[in-house]
Each structure stands twice: as C-alpha cells, then as structure tokens.
Structure 1
Amino acid sequence: MENLVLASAVTPGRYCFVLSQEDNNGIKTMPHNRCQSTSPKFSWFRAMELLTARGPFKAEHYHGDVKVSRSSTRIRTFARRLLKGLFQRSERSSVRLSPMSPEQHRSDIFSSFRTKLAPPPPKRKELSKHSQIGRECDSVKSAHINLLPCELLVEIFLYVLPEKHHTIIRPCTRYPHMTLSQVCHHWQDVLVSTTALWKSFSVEEEEDEEEENKRLKRIIDRTLGRSRARGASLKGLTQFWFNCLSPAEYAHVAIESTSRSVVPVLTKNLGRCGDLMLRIDKSSAKDILSVFSGDTSSLRSVAVSYYRGEKDEAKVIYEEIMNNQALLDSSRWQHLTRLLWFCSLMPFALLNVSMPQLMYLTIESIVTLDEILVFMSRCPHLRVAELSDLRIGQNLPVNMQLVLPWLHTLNISCRKGEDPLDALDHFTLPTLSFLTLSSTLPTASPRNYRAISGLCARSACRIDKLYIHDYLPSTDAFAGYLTHPFLQTIEALRIVAYPIRDRTLKLLKYSSGNGRCLLPNLRDLDLHLCSTTDGLVADVVASRWRQDDDEGNALARLQEVSVVFDEQHNEKLHERDEMVLKSLSEEGLPITLRSRACPTYRPSIN
C-alpha cells in the first residue's frame, strides 16, 4: 500500500494524516514513526495553511526505508476531502463568537505586523518556477482555507494557543495570534472577534537568541528605530490586547522585569485585570510596583516574585515595597482571594494589611510564626496556606491559638533545622485534610509528635494526605508519623528523605500472619529516596496490592505508587525491586520508577 503523508501534520499521539490509495472513504489517521517531534499545535496550523499554498503540495512517499519527496494532484483531492469533513464537523459545533466593537475591528496592528515581518519577494530567477506552479494550481479547483466556518476556525485557534492559554507577547516574536492572522483576512477578522483568545498574556522583552528572532529584531530596529521600537511596540501590543478583550471578561496578565515600558498602559487598564503576576528586580521594582496605583477592585489574584540575588538587591526591593503606599493600603485588597509572594523577604507592613476575602496564601519568604498568625487571623475564609520558610522562635505563648474553620490544606516548611510540628500547637483547623511538614536541615532532636495529637484533638479533623520531607535519625525512621493513632486515616503518603532506610519500609509492610496493619486506608504511596535492601520496596508494594479476598481484611489496595531509588556510580542496586514492580505494573497497578544519586551531603546522623 502506498501512503502519501501531508506535510507534517502531527496529532498529539504522534499520528499523521495519511491518504491511502486503496481507501476510498477519505481520511485515516495512522501511526507513523517518521513523524518529526514538532509541536502538534503548530504542525496542525501549518497543514491547514498548506491547503491554499500557491506553491506545490509537498509530500513524503516511503518505499521501504527510502523517503522520496514528491508533488501530486492527489493531495489536492485530499485537501478537498479534508475540507468536506471539516464542514460536516462544523455543523455539530457549539462554539459561538463574542461581539466586538467596530473600533476593535479597524485596528491596524495586524496589518502593520504583516508589513514589517513579511518575507522578501522571490528573486527574478525564481519567477519562472513560481509561474509554472501557479498555472498547475489553477488547473484544479482550489480548496480555500477561508471557506472554513467561523465556529470551526475558533476551535482551531484555541487548539494552537500555548498551554494554559497564556500567550507571551514580545515585540519581535511571531506568536500564534500574529501568525494565524497572516493566512487571510477572514482568519484575521475571526481572530479579532474571538475574545476568548485574548484573555491571558505575558509581556516580556525578547531574550531568545535564535537566528530567526535575531533577524526579526533587526527588521524592526531598521523600521522603527533601535531605542524606542521595543517600548512602543510593547505598549501598542498591550493596549491592543486589552482592546480585544471582552468587557465581560477579566484579563490574566504577567509582566516581566524587563517590560516596565508597559506599566502606564497596564495601570490604565488595571480595572480590567483579574489575575496579575509581576516579576521584579532591583532596577525595575519601583516602576513595576507603581501599577498598584490603578484600580485594584477587579483583582482576584496577585503574584509577586523576583530573581533571588545578592542581599543588597533584596534590601533595595524591600525598601521599594515599604515605600509603595498603594500596595500597603488595606482598602485596595478587600476582594483579593489569592496572594502568592515569592521574595526572600516579607515586609512586615504588608503582613498588617487586611485581606478579608483571601482564600489561597503562598509565602515563599522568611516569615515568623507570630507575624503569620496575626496576618492569617484577618483572613477568616482562608482555605490553603503554604509557608515555605517559617521561623518558629521560642517566645510564643502557648495559649496563642488561631482558629480557621475553612482551611483544609496546610504546608509548613522550616529551613533552619526547626521542628515544623511545633507550629501546630497554635492552630485549630476543623476541616484540615492535607498536611505537609518539611525540615530541610538535619537534626538529632526528636520531633514533637504530641503536637499532632493536640491539633487533631482540638480540631476533630481527619487528615487524609500527609507529605513529609525530613532528616531524621535512624532510631526514629518516621515511626512517630507512621504509628501515630491520629494519622491512621491517611490515604496518600509521601516521604522524602536522604535516604529512606529499611526500618521505615518494614513499618509499611502488611503481614497477614499477625494481622498487623499500619495505615489501612493507604492508596497512594510516594517514596523518595530509597536506599534499602533490594527487594524490600517490592515486598511492601506487593503486600498492599496482592491480597487474599478470603481473609476478609479491611486493608485498602494501592492505586498509585511512585518510587525513586538511590543509585550510585551507575550501579543497579535495586534490580529485584524493579523486576517485581514491573510485574505489578503489568497487573494494573500504576507505578512510576526513577533512579538518581543521593546527595553527597547525607547527614551523619543516619
């Protein structure tokens, strides 16, 4: 059978659109190992664009292992069949366009980009070749891409957008919206009219050093001037994006530290933003943070981060934050529901700001326990709290309690060797179900396991997920967690240690002989980093997967397993484990196996 492969139209499963000589029913999808690993979204767009190309249709014909490029009228027949199938599909589509104002349709952004970025005309010696191709194409009725209905085009456009529909706009990059607009005027009109395509964007300066981007940068520099072209282009593109946004929608915007030129435009349109992400550095902090002088009433999520650098840089940024009165005004944050702070320091003045509607809090900054308790007390609707560098201290009164009735996820990480369990003495959380405890420095002191008992007794909560990242002496081996009576309800367990030893795994192994069973509800198990006797991990997993129904035990079966083994000097230390786990995977248990070297800074206490 002879196959004709149209361009490189690769679908997510590495499939090509294939036309078979022996198949009269139209289009098939067949696996093809020779498909290039290009992005499926842009390959699909390129395949659609080729349907009206004025050049020859290129195809790859495989005869055995030999690849032959060819041009054939059969592909034009294929194009018409493809369009017929697309028209039939569009009749069942439910996508609708959002109305746009005439002013937005008259925008000349697309036309200006088409003029600036258009490729040079073909040289004179190539004209005869192109004329011949044009005559050949005219002999067959064309299948124009602009005949596709709007509903189907919208589906195509949504498909070629980047993941999470978050488009990065740069002055010198052909991002999907601009590329698609150059196919025809019909595509351009549909693009501008589809407000869902313009909801999320990130403004960044060009940092890619690829040759194509260098060439585009030179073109714009020559056309608009070197120093002002980028700033003017970024501001124009940002305003154009807001113009295309539906009045009923809120934009999701991300601003890089190199894009301070768009701050006036963003400040003007801040009332149309729902999510705002800012990345700052020492030189741009003042300008970018001034965006909060705009209308913040529509903001529901704010994320601020900067590249961790020298202490002097952190100090400058800290001072700029403290001097920003708009950022520290509580009246501006009455509707904020999500705050993400990825900076080395958390200004104490910001912790005094009231955010009564806050539900999700992530602080990856140094913050003391007493400060965060005061801040969280002003957030009665808090549901998720992640504290990545908590300093507990020694002078907190024992009776200092914080009650959060809706908080179901708590993540506490201590980076100075402190015990994260000590923080639990100051919380009452009736709906807590997901607890993460992390201490990233080795310690020889015992953990305060009584804090778990106190928390669960006060809160009457049921903990379903427990993630532990800790350095513990071999005499402990996480036994305090695994044998704790208030933690026997756990359904998902993740242990990260350097490394996990035999004693820890033996506690998890189910033995039907003595009826001993810790964590009877365990379904998801994640072990990272195992340095155990070969075969022990497999025995633990098998004991919780292969069960005798006649015994009538109440042990839950594992549903998912992830294991990271410690391998050193390219030696296979867990061959039996891997062999048995592979067998269990073939029986239907989802298992993820990885290997890596244990860090050289293993704590000596093990």
Structure 2
Amino acid sequence: MSASGYQASSKLEQPHLPHSSLPCHASPQEQRDALAAVKSQIMLYKKCIVTLEEEEKRLERSLSKVKYPILDLPVDVTSHIFLHCLPTHGRVAPSATSVPLIVAQICRHWREVALSTCGLWNSLYIDGGLDLGTVMGERTFAPNYSAQHLLRTWFSRAKGSPLSLGLNFTMRRVSPALLEVVEAYAGQIQRLDLHLWPEQFSKVRPLRTSFPLLQHLATTNSSDDAAWDFLEYSPPLRELRLLDDLSHDVSIPPSLSSLIQLEISPEISSEMLLKVLNSLPMLSTLKFCLREWEGSSITEPATPTVYPQLSSLSLASGASTSALRLVTLPNLHFLKLASFSDRDDVQKFLSRSACVIDHLVISFEGYEVDVEEDADAVFEWLETFPAVSVLEIPECPDVAALLDSLDSPGVLPRIADIRISSTVRPATIDNNYDDALIKLLHSRRDCAQSLALRRFHITFTIFRLERQVWAPGYLAESALITLIADGLDFVVKLECGTTQTWPKGYVEEDPLLINFP
C-alpha cells in the first residue's frame, strides 16, 4: 500500500468525547441519552483500535519480508568493514558518532557483530578534561567513575587481545581507582599514552607493575626523570615519545636498545643526540630539538659519524639544523625541517650522506614568498631535493606563489603527492589562482604515469569565516571535476571551528594525536 493509500485508510470516523458532563439535576431520560452517547463513542474507539492493530500487523508482515543485502554479508566480512572504519592513527576516543559505538546502534545484527569483533575494542583514549578544583590547587582526586566503568566495559569486549590505552589527565587529577583498573589490564597493554601530573606519574601503582607486552610508550610529565626511571624496568620498547621537560641529559637505559622510533620534545644537547644514536643501534626514526644556544657553537668534525640505520629524521626547530654537521645518514628517506634554516648545512649534509630524500616536510612560516628574493630562496630550497615524491608544507604564507614555483619543470620532477596548509585567508587570493592551480595540475598529470601527480590536498585554517571565501570558479570547477574523475585525489579544506571541504562529501580523519613522526 502506498503512503497516500495508508493516509486514506487511516481517515476513520473519529470519536469525540462530550464537551461537558451533565448537571447533577439532569432528568433520568437525559442521563440515559448521555450514557448511550458514551457507549457509542466507546464502540467507535474500539473499531479504530481494531483497524489500527490490523494495519500494524500488515506493516510488520510486509517489513519482515524486506531483505537488506548488507545484512546478508558473512559476519567476518562485516567485521572487516567495521575494522577499516577505525582511525588510522590507532587511538580511538569513545563517541556515539564514530566507530565502534555508532555501528553498534544501527540494528541488532550489527550490534552483535560489533560486540563480537575484539579488534573494535582493543584501543581506548580517555580525555579527563578540565577540573576547576584541580586548577585552583585543591589536593582531592577527581572520582572518574564514568571513566572506570568505560574502561572496564570497553576492554572486556576486547577479550585477550593486545590493548592500546591513552589517558590524558594533564588538566585533572586521576583517581587511584581508575589507575587500579589500568593495572588490571597491564598484562595486555601494548601501547600506552600516559599523560599525568608529575607526582602521580612517579607514584601511581600501575607504573610499578610489569607490562610484558608494552612496545609503544608516550609520556607527558615534568618530574625529575620519572619517565626514565620507569624505562629502567620496562620491557623492550619499539616506539618511545618523551614529551617531558628534561633539565639535564640523562643516561639511556639498556632496555631501550631495541628502540626503533624515538621522539624527544624537550631541547637536548649535541652530546645527548650522539649518545642516543650510539646507544640505540636499531633506531630508524628520530625526532628531536637541539638546544638553541648550541647551534652556533657546533663545529663539523673531520669525519662525521655514520649512522646507516636511520631512515627518518624530524628537526623540531630551525636551530636543530646545525646538528646535521655531526652526522652522516646514507639511508635517510624522510626529512622534516621546522623552517627555513641554514641551507649550506643541509646541502653539505645531503652531499656527504648521498641519501635520497623522497618525503620532505618543510615550513615556510615567517617568509613572504611573494617577495622576489624570498621566492627565489624557496625555489632554491625545493631544487635541493630532486628525488622528493611527497611534499608537505605545514605553513605556506603565499599559496599562489608556491604553485608558480612548483609549475617549474626543474623543481621536484618526481613529485606525486602535495599537501599544503596555510593560514592566509582564501578570499585574499587573486583571480589568477584558479589558472595557476589548473595549469600546475595539468602539467604534473601529463608527465609519465609513474611520475604523475596523484594527490593534491590544501587546507586553509582561518580564525573568522567570511562571506566570500575561496571556491573554484566555474571553469576551474569543471576542470577539477574532470581531473578527479581521471583519478586525481584532490581536496580543498577550510577550517574555521568546523571543517568545510570541496568537493563535498570528502571526509578526512581528525587524529587525536599527531602521527609519529
């Protein structure tokens, strides 16, 4: 039955109640008439109920015959699809609008599949939020009852699989009861992101417990080497992120000899850098920040030490570039430069190492690229890396000028992936922007297929959303749609509190934590 047919069938004679009761002095005949009217209304209501119940049964029978193809998929296929919906960074924050909770609310079958898929529940990131009492200096513990229940329920569904746990309580004191729940799962934890108050980090019970499966550790605390004390008794780690404020260089525990990835956020000395490289023979990925005052005092030794195992290097400050004088990295493929630095140090390092940098991250923050001299410097920087296939620019002050430089055939001839971010308001871009963009994309797509541009993502982050913001013009939009249909992964994102994308419908993950490195 169609919707209109259903509406017609539901137009039954509607019963109505008397507007007012009879007065107490009504005659017996009037009361008998009123009683008959009430019985008549009751009969009408009963007829309506019977008709509606019949319609209810008919609709239920009809819906029971409907088959949804997606529900006929094998359970293992459905589970695999659910797992692919998890964030790629591997840290899952509980949300009713994201996996796994959202798929468990669709229907009974999906809920059963979700609850039986251990891989959906083996990662949990809990943000304790802000506690005003803690900020004001009170020494009481926040109860965190909901976090305790959430952690138990979540990890109980993971069964015995290895776990990933993140606790962010830097703005709030975590209760001992919550940490006792963590202790109960310590034997299963493989990744631990622990961000606590300093005194809690050094005294909580779980840190005195063995973590036999622990391979990935990230910590934030400013206590005196509490993290390093914990590392003395830790199992062999593969990844370590230390976001502590170290007041002095520390010794490297022997337990870290198997470390593959290391990030040290506080500034370290050149001696500490060499100590790290010499003590960790398996280290392949390193992110560090050199003490700024040491930059100018580092002199290049006659024979810089060779570290063939290192393949990824991130310099967290411009001054850190001077540390390149101390090392030779022949197998380096990933390089991140925080800003324009001493190009001579970089060139000498690349020439000495004879390495092939195919993934470059460089920020142009603080440089007006549209100024001719600075634009020439940008071109020279990009020409220094002829083998780069992936280029990320996290801060670009002039997108149009950068597009012009990338359109030069001598710059990055092997580029296949470009990702640009800018805080310049898109509305300020001139009318030639569309032409420059389309010209660049066509020139990069028309080359040999093995070297063709496959991805172009650009993000504008602004503080106030204006009525007129950049969007492709009519001709540019048509050309971009054609390029996308031809296989180009093209996205323009505008971030201003919320995220808008072009073309619409594209969804990109918003990681809870920045991916390492």
Find out whether 1:410 has 2:313 as its counterpart. Answer: yes
Q: Relative to structure 1, is the Cα distance of residues 272 and 518 closer, same or farther in structure 2, using a 3 angstrom cutoff?
A: closer
Match of 2:417 among 520, 524, 527: 524
Aligned mates of 1:164, 1:325 — CA distance in 2? 25
Residue type at the aligned position of 2:162:
Y
- Post-superposition CA distance 1:423-445 (Å, at most 9, x none): 32223222222222113xxxxxx
CA distance in 2, matches of 1:501, 1:230: 49
**Do residues 456 (structure 1) and 350 (structure 2) align?**
yes
Question: 1:376 maps to which residue?
Answer: 277
Counterpart mapping for 1:130-529 below 5 A: 195-202=118-125, 238=151, 245-247=158-160, 249-257=161-169, 258-281=174-197, 284-288=200-204, 290-305=205-220, 317-319=221-223, 321-322=224-225, 326-329=229-232, 331-333=233-235, 335-343=236-244, 345-346=245-246, 348=248, 352-354=252-254, 355-387=256-288, 391=292, 392-399=294-301, 401-414=304-317, 418-439=318-339, 447-470=341-364, 471-472=366-367, 474=371, 476-477=373-374, 479-480=376-377, 482-483=379-380, 486-497=384-395, 499-500=397-398, 505-510=403-408, 517-529=410-422
Report percent identity of matched pairs: 18
**Alpha carbons of structure 1 residues 195 and 541: separation in structure 2 relative to 1, 3 Å:** closer
Per the TM alignment, residue 260 of structure 1 is displaced from its structure 2 partner at its CA by 3.6
AA at the equivalent of 1:272: Q
Q: Name the CA distance, whole Å, in 2 between partners of 1:572 and 1:204.
A: 36
1:564 is displaced (CA, Å) by: 5.4
- CA displacement 1:356-377 (0-9 Å, x = unmatched): 2212223333334432332233
**AA matched with 1:535:** N
Q: Give, in angstroms, the shift of residue 384 of structure 1.
A: 2.2
Aligned equivalents of 2:394, 2:179: Cα separation in 1 = 42
- Structure 1 pair 497/476, CA: closer, same or farther in 2 (3 Å)? farther
In 1, Cα distance between equivalents of 2:86 and 2:449: 48
CA distance in 2, matches of 1:574, 1:206: 35
Rounded Cα–Cα distance in structure 2 between residues aligned with 1:594 and 1:194 = 34
Cα distance 1:76–1:160, how it changes in 2: closer, same or farther (>3 A)?
A: farther
Partners of 2:458 and 2:492 within 8 A in 1:
yes
Instruction: Using structure 1 for the length normalisation, give the TM-score.
Output: 0.55
SS at match of 2:336: strand
Residue 412 of structure 2 aligns to which amino acid in structure 1?
L
C-alpha change, 1:558 and 1:79, in structure 2 (3 Å) is same
**Residue identity matched to 1:76:** E
Question: More deviation in 529-538 or 274-283?
Answer: 529-538
CA distance in 1, matches of 2:405, 2:360: 16
Q: Secondary structure at the match of 2:222?
A: helix
> For residues 103-130 of structure 1, what are the alpha-carbon distances to aligned partners after superposition, in whole Å with 9 as ceiling and x for unaligned?
xxxxxxxxxxxxxxxxxxxxxxxxxxxx
In the comparison of the two structures, how many residue pairs are matched? 415
Report the 3-state secondary structure (helix = DSSP H, G, I; strand = E; otherwise coil) of the residue aligned with 2:367. coil
- TM-score normalised by L of structure 2: 0.63
Structure 1 counterpart of 2:457, from 555, 562, 580: 562
Cα 1:380–1:235 shift into 2, 3 Å: same
Q: CA–CA distance in 1 between the matches of 2:468 and 2:153?
A: 57
Contact 1:390 1:412 in 2 (8 A): no
Secondary structure of the corresponding residue to residue 230 of structure 2 = coil
Compare CA radii of gyration and give the structure with the larger one.
2
Cα pair distance change 1:246/1:578, threshold 3 Å: same
After superposition, the C-alpha distances for 1:193-215 in whole angstroms (9 at most, x for unaligned) are 6644542234566989xxxxxxx
Higher share of residues assigned strand: 1
Change (3 A) 1:481 1:369: farther
**Cα distance 1:524–1:204, how it changes in 2: closer, same or farther (>3 A)?**
closer
Conserved? CA contact 1:477–1:503, under 8 Å = no
How far apart are residue 542 of structure 1 and its match? 0.7
Contact 2:103–2:111 (CA<8 Å) still a contact in 1? no
CA contact (8 A) 1:469 1:497 kept: yes
Task: Write the distance in 1 (CA, Å) between the matches of 2:415 and 2:156.
Answer: 52
Alignment gaps of 5+ in structure 1: 5-69, 96-151, 209-226, 306-316, 440-445, 511-515, 598-606
Instruction: Provide the rounded CA distance (Å) in 2 between the counterparts of 1:401 and 1:322.
Output: 30
Deviation by residue 1:548-606 (Cα, 9 ceiling, x = unmatched): 97xx999954333334579999586978x755542431221443335689xxxxxxxxx
What is the 5 A alignment of 1:28-47? none
SS of 2:436's partner is helix
1:403-429, Cα deviation, whole Å (9 max, x unpaired): 332333222121xxx444323222322
Check whether the contact 2:290–2:323 (CA below 8 A) recurs between aligned residues. Answer: no
Show the 5 A alignment for 1:45-60.
Answer: none
| CA-CA distance at 1:300 after TM superposition | 0.5
Q: Which amino acid aligns with 1:525?
A: I
In the alignment, the residues of structure 2 paired with residue 394 and residue 275 of structure 1 have an alpha-carbon distance, to the nearest angstrom, of 38
Q: What is the CA-CA distance between 1:274 and the residue it aligns to?
A: 0.6
Equivalent residues of 2:291, 2:319 under 8 A apart: no
- Give me the whole-angstrom Cα distance separating, in 1, the residues matched to 2:60 and 2:349: 71
In the alignment, what sits opposite 1:10? none
Q: How many angstroms apart in 2 are the aligned matches of 1:160 and 1:555?
A: 30
1:337 to partner: Cα distance? 0.6
3-state SS of paired residue (1:410) = strand
